[in-house]
Each structure stands twice: as structure tokens, then as C-alpha cells.
């Protein structure tokens, strides 16, 4: 018993300590701000109030949340359709090439977010490479509206976070035991059935983790909506950033963040429970051992 | 191997899909590289060929020192976060802790960067901590832990803990058991987590800006680049990114060659 | 797992070593200056050190808002001199984060235009020294826009052929200023009816925009993607430098006067050295670098008089006189009106 206590402490201790010290305490300070008033020139007046919460329940902020959730959700779906087969293909490559393929997928992202975004502007704008290319080929007469809209934002988000989804899914797929798949095929199951009944459920943890990565990173992003969306669409990340920095209204910024985190936690919990349940159905003996 | 047993349309489709994904990932990088030879300083308009930005880059001490700082921050925070995050993942999956812990682990991903940034700076100021690269590292580890832990946990979801118990029962020490049984099982996840956290850290701006000390010695590359927006992000940055891409690319391919030779040879 | 332990130990030692290396180098007289990259000559700090023996280090910020947030949360610790725009000076002063200037230690303030002493956000320049100033107006392609624009309404209710070929600034104060000026209101208004009217006008205007753009609008003019953009005069000059058909105009309803300034933080432990730095920047030859290289006007009379007239011919807005500038309304901190103001801006940006 004491040995297993010690083991728990060694495994969980460093992480919990780090998060308690550099996440929980600092953020608790900021969340206390949400019960105080903005100072006339920014900063905080320590007068207790619920005003910030009253301001936050305005339908304006809810509609921004819903719209950005829709965009982040679309980006997540698109990324999954691109990432899953890619991760699957990487996991089928000879073992000594897999790491190289993964590094090659991450490599473009060791440059800088801003100049990658500029590169997309060069590609997508009305006089950009794609439009002039298509025009020279005679495929289009008028330039396509590729930039400064939802399409551009989603493209930018998918592009920047796709490798994260690939990594998460790969981490799950590469753990698949080929014998299970062979057994299923040897029993005469067609390959799509094997995929739906065996592969997909077993790789759900990776799909779930990857989805969470791209969804939370997207909804909090504010550079892509500004540059590729042309500021025509606001994401949750934009309004929180603006409240803290542009309006210098920390109490209200803290309140909005507080509510955002609450909603996201609820969503993630639901998702985690659903994944666990889906896994419970999988042909694996995990529950028996737990 | 089963790999080339027969003609398999699924396999062909997968291979084609993978190639297309890489094209998608590298097309903007190609544009970015071409722009590094752009004559004028405009970030998005081509105006003629020139090598001058590579020369300017070599003389730009601010960018070079920022690049060095970025690598220091990314490498150290990745190592720390990979270590701590992996242990945490094992602990979480072995113990199957309750909801509270899960919530704390999701939090660093969900909390908007600007909130964490202001929270950490207020906290460090309260404790009168001297700011510098070390405070950026401490802060980057916070969100990196969450990402590493999430990736490593995907490998442990279906892990058969009875093997672990059996090994202990048979008298193996916990450390041996960890090295022989758990580590091989999670290793691809650990590598994936490390790559993820390095990538996040290299490109992170807001938290780094707020937790950095004042001055050149703790300016990272994203901070330097964003400060250039007002008077024009010059193609020097593209030149720098192109060099980073080419060097890393060459290293990956070279490592691949060596690896192959040692396997086949 | 001893390798693991050694590894962890190495990490901690490494982090500690960096911490130490950062804290030790603080023996001599040293100041830290935060500025946008490229807003000073690259060798300015070296020259300053050569002349005064004071070590000066450069920190960078991307926006006023970011340096402001950092100084408020960190109490300005570590910084001695900040470059920020005028409304932020006012807020920093009210928050007690900037130091009062000792004019006797900044003799080169005599180089400033007398008008610079009358800036409303800091009358008598008690806490700030102006570095550069200018207006906000319309920057357009003469060959693509005819007749030439003269009014803010040309931007807000464009002719049919300009629809979808226009960008506006989305930074809150300037976005709203365009509508306020068009409607004959103060750029500092937080009156409910004024906000409502400006909001309606800007939401209607949004449908005709190519995009909001605060950073690359001049590139869009050069590439022809946009024909007319809402711009700061200095930035419009970057477009003019690439294409002579690009022109700048202050609409007939007027503009705002924006001023980029230098302040000394209250937290500075080396205020005398910081004053010396301000004095050094105010030297005529240092001031002259700004219009000659980044094409912004400076309030430094001696510097502007030394300017090459050919530059003013090529970039006419460099010739706007201090009197013309002072006749524009200045942006002030909005104080308690900020809450209503920023909600209006959010409503505009979130509308479709």
C-alpha cells in the first residue's frame, strides 16, 4: 500500500504540482477579477459586483460563441477527414519511415504563423496564385471569392492544426494490433466492416484527442479570423483578446473567459463520456481488467 | 509482410491521399520560400528577384538572437513537459482518477492564451520573480503538459494493466517493469507528444510576450516578428524560415538514409 | 530509472543557469526601451551608448495594447522608456505608471514645434515627449478611383464600382472615428445616440468592404486588390513608394491627430539615464531619420526643416504643417465610456 502511494505520488505529483502552481493559482487570481469593476482608465477597482455577468449574458456574446463553435466544428470535421487516412497511411509505412513521415508533417509549422498566413493570402486573394492560375487555364472568367470569408478562415485553421490531428490519430492507430485486424479479415469480414467495427472504435481515443486539439485551438484563435477572414467574422478568441487588451476591461474579459471555459468543460466531459462508452463496446477486454 | 501481397485499391487510395496531404502542407511553404527572394519589402506582393534579404538576415543580430532564444525555450519546455506529461498520463490511466483531475488537465488547452498570459504575469509580479527566458519556459510547460498528456493517454486507453501487475508479482522491480512494459507501449505517443509541444512552443506568442523579461535577452522569434508588422515584416523572416525548413528537411532525409542503411546493410 | 533522474536534474540545472545568467548582467548603468521594431535607426542605441556610456537594450512590442497590458500587469518593472500612442499615455498617467519628466534634463525639447506643447492629452508635455505624429484618412489609387474621394462618405457609402474594393481599419478607435467624423461628431464621443448612429452607418458600410485591414492595406493597393483604403498617412506612404498613382487625402470633414510618444516608466530605477535617452532622440539628426526613412512626420522642428524637399514632393503628406495637424481632433482616453464604446465595436465587427 505505501509503495503504491509512493508510485502514485511520483507519477502524478510533478504534473499536479506544476499545474497547481502555474495554472490553478494564477488563473484563480484572474477569475476573481470577474467580480470587480473595471477602473476608469483600465486596471481594476476592487468593488464587488455581479455586473460583468449581467453584461455577459447578452445574446451578442452567445451568438459569437455559436458562430465560432460552428467554424471550429467545421474545421474539426474537415481536419479529421484529411488526417485520419493520412495517419492510417503513415502507420502502414515501414516502421523505420514512420517517424520521418511524422516529422515531415510537422516541419512546415516550425516556421512562423504570421508568414504562413501571409503565404495563404498570396495564394487565395483575388489577384492571387490560385485565381490567376485558374484564369490562365481558362477555367474561370471572374476571380473566385476565396479570401476574407468563412472558407478562408476554415482553410487557415485546418492548415495550421492538421498535423496535430495527424499526430493524435497516429498515436492511437499505431497501437492497433495487426493480429486483431487479420483475424477479422480471416473470418471473412469485408475490409470496410473491419474498419467500422474494429479499427475505428479502437482508434477513437486518438480521434477524440485530435478533435479536442483542433477545436479548442481554433475557437481561441484570433489571428486567422483577422488576416484571412479580413475581420469580417469574430471568433471567441477575438472578443476575449479585445476585452483584455483593446478595451482594457479585465473584469469583463475574465468573466467571458470564465463562461467559455465552463461551456467547453461541459462539452469535453460529454465527449469523454461518449468516447469511453464507444470504447466499452469495442472488442477489447479493458473493462474486465480495470 | 502483408504489405504488397496483392493489388489493393484501398492502399493505392491511401498512398495518394497521403501525398495530397503533404502537398497541402507544403504549398504555402513553397510560396513563403519564393517570397524570401522578393525584391521589395512587401509581405504579399511579388516585385522581382533578389538575394539581398539573406545578406540582411546574416547581419540582423536581433533576429538571430531571437531565434536562439526560441530554440532554448522550445527545447527545454518540450523536455520538461514530455517528462511530466507522460508520467501524469500513466498515473491518470492507471488510477483512473475522477473528474476533477480531468478538468484541470483540459484547462490549459481551453483557457484563452491571453488569460493565461495575464494570469502568469500578475502571479510572477506578485511573487517578485525576475522575468526572463526561464519564466517563458515555466509558462510554456503548463500548456505543453496538457497536450503531451492527452496524446500519451490515447496509447494507454486500451493498455492491459494486468501485464503490469503480473510483472510486479513475478518480482520485477517497478522500474524494470516501467522500462520493459510501459515505456515501449507509450513510446510513439511520447514522441508524438514531444513533437507537438515543440511545435506549439516555437510558434507561441502571447504567453511568451507577457512572461518574458524586458529586453533582447528574452525576446523570442514570434515576438520579434510581430513587432515588425507596423513597419513591414520584411522577407528576412521568410529567408530565416526557408533556411530552417531546408536544414530540418535535409536532416530528416539524411537520418532516414542512415536509418535505412543500418536496417538493410 | 537513473537516466530519467539525471535527465530531470539536468533540466532543472539548465533552467536555473538561464535564470542566473539573466539576473547577473545588471551591474552598469542600463536602460531598457520598448518600441516597435524598425521605428528607430538600427544603430541608435549603439550611438547613444557611445555618447553617454549608458547601456541601452531594446525590447519590442507589436501593439500599444500589448505593451499596455504588460505594463499594467507587471507594473512596468524592467522597462525604462516606452513608445506608445497618445490615448495610452493618458491612461498610463492616470494609473500612475509613468514618471513626471524633468524638462531641465531634456534640453533638446527646444527642438520641438511650439504647437507640440499644446497637445490636449498631455498639455505642457509633463509626462510624454512626442516622437512622430500624423493623420488618418483615405489612401487610394488615382488610376482606379475617379473622381478622387473627398469625404468619409466616399469610403462609407462607395460608388458601385468601388464596392468590394475597399478596406477599413478595425482598431476600435479609428473604425469609429471614420463614422463619427462623417456624422460631424467628436472622435471621443461615448454618447449613446452617437454610438448608435455610428454603429448603423458602419454596419451598412461593412457590406461593401473587401476586408478590415490594419496591417497590409498598402500591399492591397499596390497589388490592385483594393482601390481605396482607410489608412494612417505614414503607412500610405509605403504604398506611394511602390506606385506613384497612390494618393493620400484628408477628407473634408477632418481627421484625428494621432501622436506616438515616449514615456518614462514610474518603475524605472534609472530615470536620469532615461531622460538622457529622450534628449538624445530629440536631437535634430536623430529626428530627421524618421521622415527620411519611414516617411512619418515628426514634431521636431529642427528635423523637419532639414528634410529633403524632394521627399515632400514624392510624399505630399509629409508636408502637412503642425498648424494643420493641431486643427484635427485628438484621440483621448475614453475613461468610463469605454464599456459602451467597446460593446458597440463588438456589435459592428460581429454583424453580418
Q: Are B202 and A110 in contact (CB under 8 A)?
A: yes
Per-residue model confidence (pLDDT) at position C85: 95
Determine, yes or no, domain membership for A221: yes
Tell me whether residues B223 and C62 touch, CB distance under 8 A: yes
Residues within 8 A of B (CB atoms), C 223-242 only: 223, 238, 242
pLDDT of residue B25: 96
Q: pLDDT > 90: what percent of chain B?
A: 47
pLDDT band at B11, cuts 50/70/90? confident
Range of the domain at B83: 9-242
Compute the nearest-CA separation of B75 from chain A (Å): 13
Taking the CA of residue B180 and the nearest CA in chain A, the distance in Å comes to: 16
Contact between C39 and B43 using a beta-carbon 8 Å cutoff? no
Confidence category of residue C17, pLDDT binned at 50, 70, 90: low
| C13 in contact with B, Cβ within 8 Å | no
Q: Which residue of A has its CA nearest to B138?
A: A22
Please give the CATH superfamily to which domain C135-255+330-350 belongs.
Answer: Periplasmic binding protein-like II (3.40.190.10)
**Boundaries of domain holding A233:** 58-289
Domain limits of chain C? 28-133+257-329, 135-255+330-350
DSSP 8-state symbol, B5: S
CB A184 within 8 A of CB A194: yes
**pLDDT tens digits, C179-226:** 999 999 999 999 999 999 999 999 999 999 999 999 889 989 998 889
The answer, yes or no, to whether residue B20 has pLDDT greater than 90, is: yes
Each residue's pLDDT tens digit in chain A (290 positions)? 456 777 778 888 899 999 999 999 999 999 999 999 998 888 888 999 999 999 999 999 999 999 999 999 999 999 999 999 999 999 988 888 888 999 999 999 998 898 899 899 989 988 888 998 999 998 998 889 899 999 999 999 999 999 999 999 998 888 777 777 777 777 777 777 878 888 888 888 899 899 999 999 999 898 899 999 988 888 999 999 999 999 999 999 999 999 999 998 888 888 777 777 766 554 443 333 33
CA C174 to CA C168: how far, in whole Å? 9
Residue B191 CA to residue B199 CA, distance in Å, equals: 12
Q: Convert the pLDDT of each residue in B36-60 to its tens digit.
A: 998 877 767 777 888 889 998 988 8
Residue A40 lies in a domain: no
Answer for the pair C231, C217: CB distance below 8 angstroms, yes or no.
yes
Which CATH number belongs to the domain containing residue B26 in this structure?
Answer: 1.10.3720.10
- The confidence band for C5, taking pLDDT boundaries of 50, 70 and 90, is very low
Minimum Cα–Cα distance from C350: chain A residue? A234
Find, in chain C, the residue whose alpha carbon is nearest to that of A52.
Answer: C339
A38 domain residue, yes or no:
no
Q: What would the mean pLDDT of C56-67 be, rounded to a whole number?
A: 94
Is the CB of C60 less than 8 angstroms away from the CB of B223? yes
On whether ipTM exceeds 0.90, the answer is no
In a domain, B256, yes or no: no
Q: What is the mean pLDDT of chain B?
A: 87
Winning range, highest mean pLDDT, from A94-103, B236-245, C84-93:
C84-93
What distance in Å separates the CA atoms of residue A38 and residue B120, rounded to the nearest whole number? 20
Q: Is the pLDDT of residue C31 over 50?
A: yes
Of C348, B146, C190, which is closest to residue A238 (Cα–Cα)? C348
Contact by Cβ (8 Å): A130, A123: yes
Q: Is B63 on the interface with C (CB under 8 A)?
A: no
Nearest-Cα distance to chain A for B57, in Å, is 15
C68 CB neighbours in chain A (<8 A) are 42, 245, 248
CATH number for the domain that contains residue A170:
1.10.3720.10
Q: What is the pLDDT of residue A284?
A: 41
pLDDT-based confidence at C29, cuts 50/70/90? confident
Q: Give the residue from B230, B234, B235, B240 with the most C CB atoms within 10 Å of its CB, the best one to mutate.
A: B230
Confidence at residue C14, expressed as pLDDT on a 0 to 100 scale:
53
pLDDT of residue A90: 93
Task: Using the predicted structure, report yes or no on whether residue C3 has a pLDDT greater than 50.
Answer: no
pLDDT tens, residue by residue, B22-33: 999 999 999 989
Q: Rounded to whole angstroms, how far apart are CA atoms A195 and C109? A: 76
- Which of B21, B95, B226 is the closest to A86 by Cβ? B21
Nearest CB partner across the interface for B32, out of A88, A119, A168: A119
Q: Do B215 and C58 touch (CB under 8 A)?
A: yes
Is residue B4 predicted with pLDDT exceeding 60? no
Count of other CB atoms within 10 angstroms of residue B221: 28
Looking at the domain assignment, is residue A29 inside a domain? no
Residue B257 within a domain: no
Give the pLDDT confidence of B87-118 residue by residue, as tens digits.
999 888 887 666 677 777 888 988 999 999 99
Asked if pLDDT for residue B241 goes beyond 50, the answer is: yes
Comparing C103 with A99, which gets the higher pLDDT?
C103
Three cell numbers written together for C224: 490592385
| pLDDT score of B253 | 85
- Higher-confidence position of A281 and C265: C265
**In this predicted structure, which of B19-28, B113-122, B182-191, C94-103 has the lowest mean pLDDT?**
B182-191
Q: Sort out which chain B residues have CB atoms less than 8 A from A252's CB and list them.
A: none
Chains that touch B (3 or more CB pairs under 8 A): A, C
Mean pLDDT of C151-162: 96
| A150/C contact by beta carbon, under 8 A | no
Nearest CA to C120 out of C109, C128, C112 is that of: C128
User: Which residues 60-99 on chain C approach chain A with CB closer than 8 angstroms?
Assistant: 63, 65-66, 68-69, 72, 90-91, 94-95
Residue B264 placed within a domain: no
DSSP B32-72: HHHHTTBSSS-SS----B--HHHHHHHH-HHHHHHHHHHHH
**Candidates B45, B72, B215; nearest CB to C59:** B215
Q: Tell me the CATH number for domain C28-133+257-329.
A: 3.40.190.10
The verdict on residue A151 lying in a domain is yes
Indicate the number of domains in chain A: 1
Q: Summarize pLDDT for B137-164 with one digit per residue, the tens.
A: 999 999 999 999 999 998 887 777 888 7
Report yes or no: A276 and A201 within 8 Å, Cβ to Cβ.
Answer: no
Cβ distance C338 to A247 less than 8 Å, yes or no, reads: yes
Report the gap between the CA of B242 and the closest CA in chain A (Å). 8
Q: How many domains does chain B have?
A: 1
Residue B220 lies in a domain: yes
Contact C35/C61 with Cβ under 8 angstroms?
A: yes
pLDDT at C245: 95
Residues of chain C contacting residue B217, judged by C-beta atoms under 8 Å apart: 22, 25, 57
Query: Strand C228-232 to strand C128-141: parallel, antiparallel, or no bridges (unpaired)?
Result: antiparallel
Please check whether residue A198 touches B, CB under 8 A.
no
Chain A residues in contact with C209 by the CB 8 A cut-off are 230, 232
Average confidence (pLDDT) over C122-133? 96
pLDDT, position B262: 62
Q: What is the pLDDT of residue A1?
A: 45
Shortest distance between the Cα of A236 and any Cα of chain C, in A, equals: 10
Task: From chain C, pick out residues whose CB is under 8 angstroms from the CB of A67.
Answer: 350
Least Cα separation, residue C197 to chain B (angstroms): 31
Residue B194 scores a pLDDT above 70: yes
Put simply, the chain A residues between 227 and 266 with a CB less than 8 A from any chain B CB are 236-237, 240-241, 244-245, 250, 253-254, 257, 260-261, 264-265
Q: How confident is the model at residue C153 (pLDDT cuts 50, 70, 90)?
A: very high
Has residue C26 got a pLDDT over 60? no
Alpha carbon distance C330, C118 (integer Å): 11
The position carrying cell 467597446 is C342
Q: Is A140 among the domain residues?
A: yes
Confidence band of C15 (pLDDT split at 50, 70, 90): low
pLDDT at B224: 92
> Of the candidates B104, B112, B153, which has its C-beta nearest A19's C-beta?
B104
Whether C203 and chain A come into contact, CB under 8 Å, resolves to no
Q: Does residue B67 fall inside a structural domain? A: yes
* pLDDT for C129: 97
Residue of A nearest to B26 (CA): A108
Share above pLDDT 70 across residues of chain C, in percent, rounded to a whole number? 92
Question: Chain C within 8 Å of A234 (Cβ-Cβ)?
Answer: yes
Amino acid at each position: 500500500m505505501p509503495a503504491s502511494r509512493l508510485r502514485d505520488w511520483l507519477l502524478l505529483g510533478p504534473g499536479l504540482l506544476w499545474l497547481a502552481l502555474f495554472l490553478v493559482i494564477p488563473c484563480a487570481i484572474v477569475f476573481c477579477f470577474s467580480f470587480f469593476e473595471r477602473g476608469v482608465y483600465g486596471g481594476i477597482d476592487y468593488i464587488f459586483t455581479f455586473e460583468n455577468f449581467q453584461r455577459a449574458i447578452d445574446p451578442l456574446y452567445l451568438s459569437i460563441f455559436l458562430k465560432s463553435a460552428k467554424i471550429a466544428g467545421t474545421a474539426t470535421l474537415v481536419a479529421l477527414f484529411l488526417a485520419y487516412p493520412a495517419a492510417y497511411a503513415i502507420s502502414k509505412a515501414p516502421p523505420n519511415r514512420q517517424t520521418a513521415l511524422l516529422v515531415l508533417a510537422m516541419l512546415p509549422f516550425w516556421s512562423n504563423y504570421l508568414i504562413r498566413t501571409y503565404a495563404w493570402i498570396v495564394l487565395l486573394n483575388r489577384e492571387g496564385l490560385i485565381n490567376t492560375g485558374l484564369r490562365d487555364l481558362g477555367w474561370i472568367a471572374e476571380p473566385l471569392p476565396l479570401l476574407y470569408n468563412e472558407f478562408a478562415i476554415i482553410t487557415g485553421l485546418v492548415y495550421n492544426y492538421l498535423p496535430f490531428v495527424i499526430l493524435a490519430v497516429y498515436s492511437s492507430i499505431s497501437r492497433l494490433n495487426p493480429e486483431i485486424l487479420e483475424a477479422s479479415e480471416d473470418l471473412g469480414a469485408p475490409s470496410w466492416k473491419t474498419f467500422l467495427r474494429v479499427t475505428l472504435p479502437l482508434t477513437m481515443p486518438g480521434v477524440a484527442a485530435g478533435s479536442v486539439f483542433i477545436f479548442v485551438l481554433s475557437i481561441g484563435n484570433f489571428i486567422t479570423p483577422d488576416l484571412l477572414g479580413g475581420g469580417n467574422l469574430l471568433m471567441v478568441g477575438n472578443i476575449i483578446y479585445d476585452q483584455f487588451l483593446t478595451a482594457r476591461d479585465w473584469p469583463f474579459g475574465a468573466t467571458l473567459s470564465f463562461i467559455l471555459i465552463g461551456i467547453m468543460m461541459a462539452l469535453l466531459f460529454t465527449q469523454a463520456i461518449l468516447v469511453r462508452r464507444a470504447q466499452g463496446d469495442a472488442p477489447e477486454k479493458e473493462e474486465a481488467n480495470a | 509482410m502483408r504489405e504488397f501481397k496483392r493489388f489493393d485499391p484501398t492502399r493505392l487510395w491511401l498512398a495518394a491521399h497521403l501525398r495530397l496531404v503533404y502537398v497541402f502542407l507544403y504549398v504555402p511553404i513553397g510560396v513563403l520560400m519564393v517570397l524570401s527572394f522578393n525584391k521589395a519589402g512587401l509581405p504579399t506582393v511579388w516585385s522581382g528577384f533578389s538575394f539581398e534579404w539573406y545578406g540582411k538576415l546574416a547581419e540582423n543580430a536581433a533576429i538571430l538572437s531571437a531565434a536562439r532564444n526560441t530554440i532554448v525555450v522550445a527545447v527545454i519546455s518540450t523536455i520538461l513537459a514530455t517528462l511530466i506529461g507522460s508520467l501524469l498520463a500513466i498515473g491518470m490511466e492507471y488510477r483512473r482518477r475522477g473528474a476533477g483531475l480531468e478538468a484541470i488537465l483540459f484547462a490549459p488547452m481551453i483557457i484563452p492564451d491571453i488569460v493565461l498570459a495575464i494570469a502568469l504575469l500578475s502571479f510572477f509580479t506578485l511573487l517578485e520573480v525576475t522575468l526572463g527566458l526561464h519564466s517563458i519556459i515555466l509558462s510554456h510547460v503548463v500548456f505543453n503538459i496538457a497536450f503531451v498528456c492527452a496524446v500519451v493517454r490515447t496509447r494507454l486507453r486500451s493498455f492491459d494493466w494486468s501485464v503490469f501487475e503480473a510483472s510486479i508479482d513475478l518480482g520485477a522491480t517497478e522500474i524494470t517493469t516501467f522500462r520493459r512494459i510501459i515505456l515501449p507501449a507509450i513510446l510513439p505517443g511520447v514522441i508524438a507528444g514531444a513533437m507537438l509541444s515543440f511545435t506549439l512552443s516555437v510558434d507561441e506568442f502571447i504567453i511568451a510576450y507577457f512572461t518574458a523579461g524586458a529586453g533582447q535577452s528574452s525576446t523570442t522569434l514570434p515576438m520579434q516578428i510581430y513587432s515588425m508588422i507596423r513597419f513591414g515584416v520584411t522577407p528576412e523572416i521568410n529567408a530565416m524560415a526557408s533556411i530552417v525548413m531546408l536544414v530540418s528537411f535535409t536532416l530528416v532525409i539524411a537520418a532516414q538514409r542512415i536509418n535505412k542503411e543500418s536496417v538493410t546493410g | 530509472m537513473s537516466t530519467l533522474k539525471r535527465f530531470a536534474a539536468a533540466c532543472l540545472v539548465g533552467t536555473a543557469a538561464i535564470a542566473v545568467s539573466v539576473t547577473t548582467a545588471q551591474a552598469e548603468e542600463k536602460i531598457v526601451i520598448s518600441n516597435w521594431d524598425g521605428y528607430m535607426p538600427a544603430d541608435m542605441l549603439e550611438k547613444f551608448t557611445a555618447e553617454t556610456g549608458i547601456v541601452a537594450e531594446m525590447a519590442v512590442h507589436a501593439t500599444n495594447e500589448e505593451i499596455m497590458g504588460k505594463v499594467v500587469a507587471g507594473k512596468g518593472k524592467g522597462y525604462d522608456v516606452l513608445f506608445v500612442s497618445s490615448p495610452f499615455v493618458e491612461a498610463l498617467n492616470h494609473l500612475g505608471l509613468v514618471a513626471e519628466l524633468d524638462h531641465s534634463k531634456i534640453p533638446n525639447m527646444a527642438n520641438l514645434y511650439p504647437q507640440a506643447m499644446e497637445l490636449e492629452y498631455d498639455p505642457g508635455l509633463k509626462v510624454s515627449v512626442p516622437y512622430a505624429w500624423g493623420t488618418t484618412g483615405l489612401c487610394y489609387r488615382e488610376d482606379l478611383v475617379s473622381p478622387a474621394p473627398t469625404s468619409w462618405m466616399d469610403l462609407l457609402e462607395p460608388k458601385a464600382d468601388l464596392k468590394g474594393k475597399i478596406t477599413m481599419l478595425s482598431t476600435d478607435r479609428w473604425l469609429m472615428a471614420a463614422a463619427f467624423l462623417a456624422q460631424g461628431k467628436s472622435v471621443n464621443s461615448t454618447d449613446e445616440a452617437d454610438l448608435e448612429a455610428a454603429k448603423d452607418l458602419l454596419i451598412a458600410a461593412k457590406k461593401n468592404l473587401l476586408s478590415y485591414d490594419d496591417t497590409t492595406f498598402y500591399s492591397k493597393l499596390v497589388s490592385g486588390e483594393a482601390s481605396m483604403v482607410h489608412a494612417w498617412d505614414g503607412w500610405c506612404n509605403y504604398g506611394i513608394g511602390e506606385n506613384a498613382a497612390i494618393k493620400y487625402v484628408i477628407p473634408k470633414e477632418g481627421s484625428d491627430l494621432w501622436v506616438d510618444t515616449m514615456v518614462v516608466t514610474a518603475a524605472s530605477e534609472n530615470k536620469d539615464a532615461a531622460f538622457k535617452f529622450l534628449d538624445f532622440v530629440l536631437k535634430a539628426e536623430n529626428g530627421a531619420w524618421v521622415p527620411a526613412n519611414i516617411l512619418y512626420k515628426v514634431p521636431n522642428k529642427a528635423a523637419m526643416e532639414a528634410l529633403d524637399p524632394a521627399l515632400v514632393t514624392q510624399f505630399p503628406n509629409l508636408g502637412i504643417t503642425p498648424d494643420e495637424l493641431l486643427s484635427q481632433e485628438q484621440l483621448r482616453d475614453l475613461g468610463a465610456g469605454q464599456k459602451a464604446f467597446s460593446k458597440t465595436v463588438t456589435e459592428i465587427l460581429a454583424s453580418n
